[in-house]
Chain A
Amino acid sequence: MKILLNNREEEFPYESLTVSEMIDFKKFSFRMRIVKINGVLIPKGKYDSTIIHNNDEVQMLYLMSGG
């Protein structure tokens, strides 16, 4: 499938992925993050059950301590 990840086109060798699977596949490591799919925020508790489909627009951002 092909998705837009942070406005950049990315291809995955799967037909669909859960949010957790995508995080593992991309080796995204930081613990605190926000994930939005097609403009909808996915709460942390739903990363395992939320599926990313072909052509979805995914935004991911990391939250670093400090302020």
Chain B
Amino acid sequence: MRFSEIKSHLSKFKVGIAGAGGLGSNCATALARSGVGTLVIADYDKIEECNLNRQYYFTDQIGKLKTDALKENVFRINPGINVVIQQKRLDRLNIPEVFSGCDVIVEAFDSADMKEMLIETVQTRMPGITVVAASGLAGFGNNDTVRCRKIDDTLYICGDESSEAEDDLPPMAPRVGIVANMQANTVIDILMKKK
């Protein structure tokens, strides 16, 4: 299949991005380059200097809301995309509404609690909607431990499922980028199989 056909197929779909940090910003740009029609980007945070070691933002965007900056960056890549900004902290109550109509939801949070909350909420309150989650991406090296595991048709998990981010094992651009792009790759694979 040619890229123009892939792009035109992907343009029919809407993908939710839960969190616009290292995973969300890198995943969103990959999906925008590939031609996904609509991205719903949810985050409440502002860009800090320390985010630039892995997040798809620039020095002149420090202090801006991540949702606004990511929309700006995604438009610079693909002006034809639709971006819906949800500038809020996601919780069990608002997730079904924020991501209503999305074909796939990308779990792109930093904290394990939020990851668990999002997966539980989508799996119990939004039946049939696939979540592509990430777990285990801290540090550097260990390329071969990163993988994507299909749990079932509604849940995929990308990462090594073991490395926990901490002061002495920080998340860094290469491994976060690998996992974020693995999530994007999984989303595209799912969407290409959809009518």
Residues of A within 8 A of B (CB): 31-34, 36, 39, 41, 43-44, 59, 61-67
Contacts and interface: CB of A to CB of B under 8 A. Distances in A.
B162 interface: yes
Could you say which interface size class chain B belongs to?
35 or more
A31 to B, nearest CB: 7
Nearest to A66: B165
Given A32-B115, A36-B152, A61-B149, A66 B120 contact: no
Interface string B23-60: 11000000000000000000000000000000000000
Interface of B: 19, 21-24, 108-113, 115-116, 119-120, 123-124, 133-138, 149, 151-152, 155, 157, 159, 161-166, 171, 176
Nearest to A34: B119
B101 to A, nearest CB: 22
Contacts of B113: 32
Contact of B155 (A31, A36, A64, A66): A36
A64 B112 contact: yes
Contacts of B165: 64-67
A13 to B, nearest CB: 27
8 contacts: A32-B113, A41-B123, A43-B124, A62-B162, A63-B115, A64-B112, A65-B111, A67-B21
Contact of A64 (B23, B151, B161): B161
Given A34-B116, A43-B120, A67 B109 contact: yes
B116 A64 contact: no
Contacts of A67: 19, 21-24, 108-110, 115, 134, 137, 165, 171, 176
B159 to A, nearest CB: 7
